């Protein structure tokens, strides 16, 4: 697939215990079906050629011989199928029997990976039959060829250099020192697990959490295929519980007791980028030296089936979203509380416009005052009507301040701005950038001076989405003494305000917050038309939900613009035409590079998530970097 995606599959054939011929045909049938659907890493369960529950039959020469014959039949059927296939079988090597994963591509056996952790307890006493994997990799004869036999083997895709795959078997992942840790430290970006995990009460949750955490711990993709119906039920039941995880997230999970095939697309480029970003992830390791086995996997032009969240900054579920909102509000308030304590400041000043950002800043300031056990009257909310102010936003600003118990101060700046226009020779009928920015800078001057009068500090209101686009007046609303919203994207600002409206317990306050949420985003720097906001930000720079999507994937994963476009088309299909997505992505890239100088001198402010634009920690970017490479990526795309 394109842009570093590879489709994987976890499969569980409905086998017949010890019937290797029947099982081989079922494996071949599923193998062909999954390959036709674009899967290029296919993982079957542990010992699936014979069945995991053969018991003492594993000591029968006939069964072992037929298991090998069945593998040869599977290999023959796999000719012409590129990718990587993992199938489990018992295999005798140099006088010992091993629980083994056979790894092959295009009908050619690439290697054999034996199980490391052999249980010597429980219903299936594997130590009765199988030997533990040898400590070092060796080469054994296979049909006249030498193939690696051991755990320290990586399978390298020639067509996707970042795709390195390693295997472990069932209990290996439960070990104190699982092979997957070693594999990941040697570069494996995908770990597969061939398993036969029986079902008992509570085990499903434990298994899911273990594998999810393991994929996050190792910053890798993890494909887990477990035995299902068809295994002997003499003592246990096997549920065919498959999981495909990526970096701490469960991408796909099968229903138990269904023997279904699941598909999941792993983002190898994202995993590589994440490992580069995490400076503590080891780049070099000592022995043992791994055997590197190459294979081919041609590009498959398939539509992306993976879920792509169109609002990556906002949690999906209501319960998780509310929990996150409460946490973010507390982080913001604690940051402001510390700054007030450190400066000995007993007052804060906020420019209140009746818009979302200043509303959130006022809510945070109220919470900080509560934490400091100060009266909320120490907050001075300043409304500064000018040429673009509408009655709706003015009323909301006043009522919001009143309901929160803050002090309200009105400073009409029309006359001051008019005088300033006369001083600099600006035609008041010329509604250009000077016309707009003069108002923004006048408001900032008023706030700074009011802060001096009250012995307070100016709390900034601008959010991260505006900073990413440079949608702020330099040394105007761009400047403050502490910016509480600096790492909160616009899409999340909305949810924080709505959360407060839903939980404040004040019907009138809730009503005004909901009306603010319903008001178009605007700096209100141009005169209204018939009393209605004339200047709508998203008409000028594009929808914030798109820009937040672009920002997240660019900064969080280092994704190239063409990949971001590919993902955005998938996430927003049916909502925006491709040409619209591309138009605003070009706008985002141009503005993001051109406006870095505004972010290079940002005031302090608390980081609340994994993406932030502070020049002191998260985005140390030159202000004069060229956007040419990033814009070139978007040429000739449709």
Beta carbons of 399 and 374 less than 8 angstroms apart: no
User: How far is it between the farthest Cα atoms of the chain?
Assistant: 101
Give the Cα separation of 186 and 160 in Å (integer). 17
Reading the block at residue 103, the tokens are 């790894």
Is 267 strand, coil or helix?
strand
Beta-carbon count within 10 A of 510 CB: 17
Active-site choice (68, 115, 586, 607): 115
| Dihedral sign for Cα atoms in the order 168, 172, 173, 175 | negative
SS3 letters across 328-357: HHHHHHHHHHHHHHHHCCCCEEEECCCCHH
Which residues are 222's β-sheet partners? 191, 245
170 a catalytic residue: yes
Beta carbons of 510 and 501 less than 8 angstroms apart: yes
Active-site choice (54, 117, 170, 245): 170
Give the Cα separation of 134 and 249 in Å (integer). 33
* Beta pairing, strands 145-149 & 153-157: unpaired
Active-site choice (26, 46, 274, 524): 46
Length of the chain: 638
Give the Cα separation of 556 and 270 in Å (integer). 9
**Rounded-to-10 torsion of CA 500, 503, 509, 515:** 60
117 a catalytic residue: no
| Dihedral sign for Cα atoms in the order 515, 517, 520, 522 | positive
Give the Cα separation of 53 and 67 in Å (integer). 14
Task: Name, in order, each residue with C-beta under 8 angstroms of 485's C-beta and a sequence gap of 6 or more.
Answer: 332, 357, 360, 361, 364, 460, 461, 462, 463, 464, 493, 605
Which residues are 272's β-sheet partners? none
Give the Cα separation of 23 and 16 in Å (integer). 7
| Dihedral sign for Cα atoms in the order 469, 249, 12, 293 | positive
Beta-carbon count within 10 A of 179 CB: 24
126 a catalytic residue: no
| Dihedral sign for Cα atoms in the order 316, 322, 323, 325 | positive
Task: Name, in order, each residue with C-beta under 8 angstroms of 548's C-beta and a sequence gap of 6 or more.
Answer: 311, 312, 313, 465, 489, 490, 491, 492
Type and span of the H or E element at 509 = helix 507-517
Q: Which residues are catalytic?
A: 46, 115, 170
């Amino acid at each position: 697939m394109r842009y570093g995606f590879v489709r994987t599959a976890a499969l569980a054939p409905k086998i017949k215990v010890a019937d290797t011929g029947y099982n081989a045909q079922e494996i071949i049938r599923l193998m062909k079906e999954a390959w036709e659907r674009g899967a290029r890493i296919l993982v079957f369960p542990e010992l699936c050629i014979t069945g995991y529950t053969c018991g003492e039959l594993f000591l029968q020469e006939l069964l072992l011989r037929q298991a090998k014959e069945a593998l040869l039949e599977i290999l023959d059927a796999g000719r012409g199928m590129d990718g990587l296939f993992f199938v489990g079988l018992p295999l005798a090597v140099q006088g010992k029997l091993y629980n083994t994963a056979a790894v092959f591509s295009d009908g050619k056996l690439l290697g054999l990976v034996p199980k490391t952790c052999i249980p010597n307890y429980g219903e299936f006493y594997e130590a009765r039959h199988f030997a533990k994997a040898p400590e070092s990799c060796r080469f054994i004869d296979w049909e006249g060829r030498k193939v690696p036999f051991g755990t320290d083997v990586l399978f390298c895709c020639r067509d996707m250099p970042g795709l390195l795959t390693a295997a472990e078997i069932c209990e290996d992942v439960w070990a104190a020192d699982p092979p997957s840790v070693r594999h990941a430290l040697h570069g494996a970006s995908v770990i597969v697990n061939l398993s036969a995990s029986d079902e008992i009460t509570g085990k499903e949750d434990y298994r899911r959490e273990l594998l999810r955490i393991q994929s996050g711990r190792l910053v890798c993709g993890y494909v887990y295929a477990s035995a299902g119906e068809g295994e002997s039920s003499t003592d246990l039941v096997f549920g065919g519980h498959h999981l495909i995880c990526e970096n701490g997230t469960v991408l796909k999970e099968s229903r138990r007791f269904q023997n279904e095939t699941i598909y999941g697309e792993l983002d190898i480029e994202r995993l590589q980028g994440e490992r580069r970003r995490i400076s503590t992830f080891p780049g070099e390791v000592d022995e043992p030296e791994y055997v590197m086995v190459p294979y081919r996997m041609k590009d498959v032009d398939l539509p992306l089936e993976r879920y792509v969240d169109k609002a990556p900054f906002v949690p999906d579920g209501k319960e998780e979203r509310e929990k996150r909102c409460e946490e973010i509000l507390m982080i913001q308030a604690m940051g402001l509380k510390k700054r007030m304590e450190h400066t000995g400041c007993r007052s804060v000043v906020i420019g209140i416009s009746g818009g979302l950002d200043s509303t959130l800043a006022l809510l945070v300031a109220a919470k900080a005052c509560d934490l400091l056990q100060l009266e909320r009257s120490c907050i001075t909310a300043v409304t500064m009507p000018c040429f673009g102010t509408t009655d709706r936003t003015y009323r909301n600003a006043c009522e919001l301040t009143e309901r929160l118990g803050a002090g309200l101060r009105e400073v009409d700046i029309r006359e001051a701005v008019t005088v300033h226009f006369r001083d600099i020779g600006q035609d008041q009928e010329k509604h250009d950038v000077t016309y707009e920015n003069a108002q923004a800078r006048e408001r900032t001057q008023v706030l700074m001076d009011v802060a001096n009068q009250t012995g307070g500090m100016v709390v900034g209101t601008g959010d991260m989405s505006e900073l990413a686009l440079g949608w702020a007046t330099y040394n105007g609303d761009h400047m403050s003494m502490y910016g509480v919203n600096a790492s909160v994207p616009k899409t999340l600002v909305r949810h924080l305000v709505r959360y407060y409206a839903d939980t404040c317990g004040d019907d009138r306050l809730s009503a005004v917050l909901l009306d603010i949420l319903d008001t178009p985003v605007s700096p209100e720097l141009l005169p209204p038309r018939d009393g209605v906001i004339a200047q709508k930000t998203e008409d000028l720079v594009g929808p914030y939900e798109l820009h937040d999507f672009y920002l997240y994937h660019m900064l969080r994963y280092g994704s190239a613009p063409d990949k971001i476009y590919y993902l955005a088309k998938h996430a927003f299909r049916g909502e925006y035409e491709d040409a619209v997505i591309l138009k605003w992505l070009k706008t985002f890239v141009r503005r993001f590079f051109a406006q870095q100088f505004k972010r290079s001198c940002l005031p302090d402010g608390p980081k609340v998530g994994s993406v932030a634009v502070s020049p002191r920690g998260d985005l140390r970017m030159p202000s004069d970097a060229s956007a040419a490479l990033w814009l070139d990526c978007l040429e000739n795309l449709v």
